[in-house]
Chain A
């Protein structure tokens, strides 16, 4: 096994462990390449909570919108400066392993095994924390998810917004 493959496998195992899922079970689409981490599983857990009320009501449409947002998150991360990427990856890595989860959330329970109410409780505890580290973790995830979701024209229908058509 090449070292790179080994590392990726190790990551996938860690992620699956922390998220509490078999890697191949979700209906959500998995990355189409193995170039680096994109934390798709992690975000697939957070999106339904963070975008509650914004995602479409119909299940199939909701899944499409979530997958579109996961792609957009990957693109958003790709254009961040490397210093910000490193900071973000540190946070996401912590959320993908049990010790990190314990430090950030006082619980080792994998994120996918937490109910929406428990995930909301986690986000709220960061949001209102006295520790700026946790506040910035909340704000970083929030900004990334919101910017990625609303960057997609497919998600503007609830806003009743469209960009103008110019003759170009």
Chain B
């Protein structure tokens, strides 16, 4: 049975797509709205604005890849679909960061977990970050709308053994656990969401909103990196972009985009970086600061029977037992989930080399991995990271502070307790110097004493948030609660950079829902102005 590639079919049907790597000369584009980035924010905004009758151009730095290219191999997926070939790190190399870089952004490579923004998070934003109108009641209809649009449903099949261990441990210990909702339709349950869905079951932006927008006449320009926002007197008048070659390196070809309104959806590193490089007004020096990562710790459990953590829906269970345990502003809480285990990911994110590493890898199919995602940005000592401009790009400083390490120690203990409870024979906290632990009692003692430090303890992130926060107080926020810039009249931001803290949940549904709300409002505003014949 051949798998239909909707992107190939769409292109054959006449979609307006320009691969900027193929351009031979400078070019100018015009539309009602230019959207920079095609991830969770850009994709949703493109569909809504196009449906409202506006002409839209999507500009994406990554390539247009589709199911025909998705061969379930990390060596192909990482360079094609991830920022910096999945080797992006914070400035001190202490945190590895996985972020998408292709049409569809991170939604093309995420693990499909769809969670509404937690009530505690929204309350914190309202009380502490001057957010207005982002309440449970006001947002739930938008989440519901996007859940319907992207076929987001609870995963009602058996969890794979990796997730089942998380579930069983929670049941045995009486801990909270939840069956995850996933954005899939006709999922084959293979487990390769992170390398691009090979069967187009994942309802990513790549196969949903972006095709819908293209069907209605929107234009997509891929391999084009927006490098500057041209602005004057509180108005943006153009975006300058560089065409990239097939290896995503800059070429001499320059592109100019002009529109009535501009939306930045380049993600929580590149949106602030673009604003900083363009020297947009930032009187309170907020841009790039308070960048959050949900810094994540790993614990390996070796089981007697096969776990086969590479196979099956990668995430179907989570536990919030420890997420809000100490209140929003107390000691940092953490969410427990599991990752898929694939050869490169696990070989590079574990410890050591030689015999010890080979032995760990030989237990590949018996390895259950649990992760703890630390909720950063609420505690006064958890201020997140800061994006700096460099001569060639950016650097992200993210200090791993004492308050994080205290949480990490608790998280390692929770993960070990859970894994032993679920039947692990031995547990390896992924922090250099730790041996295999043979019982919960031994683990408890050892983890209490373990040495935790940047570079020794493996820390990773797949959730980059913040750096261009929302809110009504200009001392705290760059954009208002609808994502409208406080300083540039015809500029909005619609991506994870507007979150004033981390979410305490996997971000995609928060971005979908909040963008749906904000883009709908923007579409109404733009339509009114167009109807009135005003200059927008």
Contact = CB atoms under 8 A, between A and B. Distances in A.
B529 interface: no
A39 interface: no
A76 B74 CA distance: 11
Interface in A79-130: 79-84, 120, 123, 127-128
B406 interface: no
Given A54-B357, A151-B75, A156-B343, A82 B365 contact: no
A72 B343 CA distance: 14
A156 to B, nearest CB: 6
A163 B198 CA distance: 12
B365 A142 contact: no
Interface stretch (A6-14, A17-25, A30-38, A45-53): A45-53
B457 to A, nearest CB: 12
A53 B84 CA distance: 30
B475 to A, nearest CB: 34
Contact of B73 (A53, A135, A142, A163): A163
**Which of A123, A135, A146 has the most chain B CB within a 10 Å cutoff?**
A146
Contact of A151 (B2, B344, B362): B344
A160 B364 contact: yes
B397 to A, nearest CB: 14
- For the side of the interface on B, what is the size category? 35 or more
A54 B188 CA distance: 32
22 contacts: A50-B353, A52-B355, A54-B357, A80-B84, A82-B249, A83-B390, A83-B392, A136-B93, A136-B455, A142-B353, A143-B87, A143-B348, A146-B347, A147-B348, A149-B347, A150-B344, A152-B75, A153-B73, A159-B361, A159-B364, A159-B365, A166-B198
Given A79-B85, A135-B455, A166-B198, A161 B343 contact: yes
A161 B341 CA distance: 11
Interface string A131-145: 010011001101101
A158 interface: yes
Interface string A46-66: 000111111000000000000
Contacts of A76: 85
B126 interface: no
**Which of A49, A80, A142, A168 has the most chain B CB within a 10 Å cutoff?**
A168
A164 B85 contact: no
Contacts of A53: 354-355, 357-359
Contact of A146 (B1, B311, B353): B353
A47 to B, nearest CB: 10
A19 B357 CA distance: 26
Nearest to B82: A79
Interface string B46-79: 0000000000000000000000100111110011
B231 to A, nearest CB: 28
Contacts of B188: 166
B55 to A, nearest CB: 34
A80 B87 contact: yes
B120 interface: no
A123 B351 CA distance: 13
A79 B255 CA distance: 25
Given A83-B392, A153-B73, A166-B199, A51 B2 contact: no
A132 B455 CA distance: 8
B353 A158 contact: no
Contacts of A151: 73-75, 343-344
Contacts of B249: 82
A54 B358 contact: yes
Contacts of B359: 53
